[in-house]
Amino acid sequence: MIQWGRATFTVLSETTDPDVVTQLLGLDPSEVWRKGEMLRSGRVRTHHGWSLDVGALDNTEIDQTGTRPLRELLDRCTAAAGRVADLPEDCEARIWWSASSDSAQGGFVLPFEVAAQIGELGVDVYATVYLAEGDESDD
Protein backbone atom coordinates (compact mmCIF):
# COMPACT_ATOMS: atom_id res chain seq x y z
CA MET A 1 0.00 0.00 0.00
CA ILE A 2 1.12 3.56 -0.63
CA GLN A 3 2.53 5.10 2.56
CA TRP A 4 3.39 8.65 1.49
CA GLY A 5 3.76 10.74 -1.63
CA ARG A 6 4.36 14.16 -3.12
CA ALA A 7 2.69 16.14 -5.89
CA THR A 8 3.74 19.11 -8.01
CA PHE A 9 1.92 21.08 -10.69
CA THR A 10 4.42 22.40 -13.25
CA VAL A 11 4.31 24.59 -16.32
CA LEU A 12 7.34 24.65 -18.62
CA SER A 13 7.75 27.11 -21.47
CA GLU A 14 10.34 28.22 -23.99
CA THR A 15 9.08 31.81 -24.24
CA THR A 16 6.27 32.52 -21.74
CA ASP A 17 7.56 34.17 -18.58
CA PRO A 18 6.48 32.54 -15.28
CA ASP A 19 4.83 35.80 -14.18
CA VAL A 20 2.41 35.43 -17.11
CA VAL A 21 1.63 31.85 -15.99
CA THR A 22 0.89 33.14 -12.47
CA GLN A 23 -1.51 35.76 -13.89
CA LEU A 24 -3.29 33.37 -16.23
CA LEU A 25 -3.73 30.58 -13.66
CA GLY A 26 -4.53 32.82 -10.71
CA LEU A 27 -2.18 30.80 -8.50
CA ASP A 28 0.98 31.73 -6.61
CA PRO A 29 3.80 29.29 -7.36
CA SER A 30 6.15 27.64 -4.88
CA GLU A 31 9.04 28.22 -7.27
CA VAL A 32 9.83 29.84 -10.62
CA TRP A 33 12.94 29.71 -12.79
CA ARG A 34 13.85 31.48 -15.96
CA LYS A 35 15.44 30.47 -19.21
CA GLY A 36 19.10 31.46 -19.31
CA GLU A 37 19.74 31.06 -15.57
CA MET A 38 22.94 29.24 -14.68
CA LEU A 39 22.65 26.05 -12.65
CA ARG A 40 25.25 24.96 -10.08
CA SER A 41 26.38 22.33 -12.57
CA GLY A 42 27.34 25.11 -14.99
CA ARG A 43 24.52 24.23 -17.39
CA VAL A 44 22.14 26.96 -18.51
CA ARG A 45 18.37 26.54 -18.19
CA THR A 46 16.72 26.07 -21.58
CA HIS A 47 13.13 26.68 -20.41
CA HIS A 48 11.16 28.90 -18.08
CA GLY A 49 9.50 27.00 -15.25
CA TRP A 50 6.67 27.52 -12.82
CA SER A 51 5.72 25.04 -10.08
CA LEU A 52 3.34 24.59 -7.19
CA ASP A 53 4.48 21.86 -4.80
CA VAL A 54 2.79 20.47 -1.68
CA GLY A 55 5.83 18.52 -0.48
CA ALA A 56 5.86 15.01 0.95
CA LEU A 57 2.77 13.91 2.88
CA ASP A 58 2.03 10.68 4.75
CA ASN A 59 -1.27 8.83 4.67
CA THR A 60 -3.77 9.62 7.40
CA GLU A 61 -6.08 7.36 9.39
CA ILE A 62 -8.98 8.69 7.29
CA ASP A 63 -7.28 8.43 3.88
CA GLN A 64 -5.24 5.30 3.20
CA THR A 65 -5.41 5.65 -0.62
CA GLY A 66 -1.95 7.24 -0.90
CA THR A 67 -3.39 10.18 -2.81
CA ARG A 68 -3.27 12.77 -0.01
CA PRO A 69 -0.63 14.98 -1.69
CA LEU A 70 -2.47 14.78 -5.02
CA ARG A 71 -5.75 15.77 -3.33
CA GLU A 72 -4.11 18.66 -1.51
CA LEU A 73 -2.46 19.91 -4.69
CA LEU A 74 -5.73 19.74 -6.61
CA ASP A 75 -7.53 21.61 -3.82
CA ARG A 76 -4.90 24.37 -4.05
CA CYS A 77 -5.34 24.46 -7.84
CA THR A 78 -9.14 24.90 -7.77
CA ALA A 79 -8.84 28.53 -8.91
CA ALA A 80 -7.00 27.38 -12.06
CA ALA A 81 -9.70 24.91 -13.15
CA GLY A 82 -10.46 25.58 -16.80
CA ARG A 83 -7.63 28.11 -17.12
CA VAL A 84 -4.87 25.73 -18.22
CA ALA A 85 -6.35 25.80 -21.73
CA ASP A 86 -5.77 29.58 -21.75
CA LEU A 87 -2.00 29.19 -21.41
CA PRO A 88 0.01 30.07 -24.54
CA GLU A 89 0.78 27.19 -26.92
CA ASP A 90 4.43 26.98 -25.88
CA CYS A 91 3.40 26.07 -22.30
CA GLU A 92 3.39 22.46 -21.16
CA ALA A 93 1.40 21.90 -17.95
CA ARG A 94 1.28 18.66 -15.97
CA ILE A 95 1.10 17.18 -12.51
CA TRP A 96 3.95 15.04 -11.21
CA TRP A 97 2.85 12.61 -8.51
CA SER A 98 5.17 10.14 -6.84
CA ALA A 99 4.43 7.76 -4.01
CA SER A 100 6.22 5.16 -1.94
CA SER A 101 4.78 1.72 -1.34
CA ASP A 102 5.47 -0.62 1.55
CA SER A 103 5.14 -3.64 -0.75
CA ALA A 104 6.70 -4.97 -3.93
CA GLN A 105 3.44 -4.48 -5.87
CA GLY A 106 2.82 -0.78 -5.30
CA GLY A 107 -0.87 -0.65 -6.12
CA PHE A 108 -2.90 2.47 -5.46
CA VAL A 109 -6.45 3.75 -5.77
CA LEU A 110 -7.30 6.86 -7.76
CA PRO A 111 -10.71 7.84 -6.35
CA PHE A 112 -13.19 9.16 -8.89
CA GLU A 113 -13.35 12.53 -7.08
CA VAL A 114 -9.61 12.96 -7.64
CA ALA A 115 -9.92 11.93 -11.29
CA ALA A 116 -12.74 14.46 -11.72
CA GLN A 117 -10.62 17.28 -10.23
CA ILE A 118 -7.76 16.36 -12.58
CA GLY A 119 -10.19 16.54 -15.50
CA GLU A 120 -11.49 19.93 -14.36
CA LEU A 121 -7.95 21.28 -14.14
CA GLY A 122 -7.24 19.88 -17.61
CA VAL A 123 -3.78 18.35 -17.17
CA ASP A 124 -2.14 14.96 -17.46
CA VAL A 125 -0.68 13.27 -14.38
CA TYR A 126 2.75 11.66 -14.60
CA ALA A 127 2.87 9.13 -11.76
CA THR A 128 5.65 7.01 -10.29
CA VAL A 129 5.29 4.51 -7.46
CA TYR A 130 8.48 3.51 -5.68
CA LEU A 131 8.29 -0.09 -4.52
CA ALA A 132 9.74 -1.63 -1.37
CA GLU A 133 12.37 -4.25 -2.06
CA GLY A 134 10.88 -7.71 -1.67
CA ASP A 135 12.61 -10.77 -0.31
CA GLU A 136 13.49 -13.80 -2.42
CA SER A 137 10.03 -15.32 -1.83
CA ASP A 138 8.56 -12.47 -3.92
CA ASP A 139 10.27 -13.74 -7.08
Q: d(Cα 59, Cα 4) in Å, to the nearest integer?
A: 6
* Amino acid at residue number 48: H
Beta bridge partners of 33: 49
Could you count the other beta carbons within 10 Å of the beta carbon of residue 133? 6
Q: Give 5-28 pLDDT, tens digit per residue.
A: 789 999 999 999 999 999 999 999
Q: d(Cα 46, Cα 34) in Å, to the nearest integer?
A: 8
Domain residue limits at 103:
2-138
pTM assigned to the model: 0.85
Count how many domains the chain has: 1
Q: What is the pLDDT of residue 136?
A: 46
Q: d(Cα 31, Cα 37) in Å, to the nearest integer?
A: 14
**Along the 139 residues of the chain, how does pLDDT read in single tens digits?**
666 778 999 999 999 999 999 999 999 999 999 999 999 999 999 999 999 999 876 666 666 667 888 989 999 999 999 999 999 999 999 999 887 777 676 667 788 999 999 999 999 999 877 776 654 444 4
* Amino acid at residue number 12: L
Cα torsion 68, 73, 79, 82: sign: negative
Residue 105 has phi, psi (to 5 degrees) of -95, -40
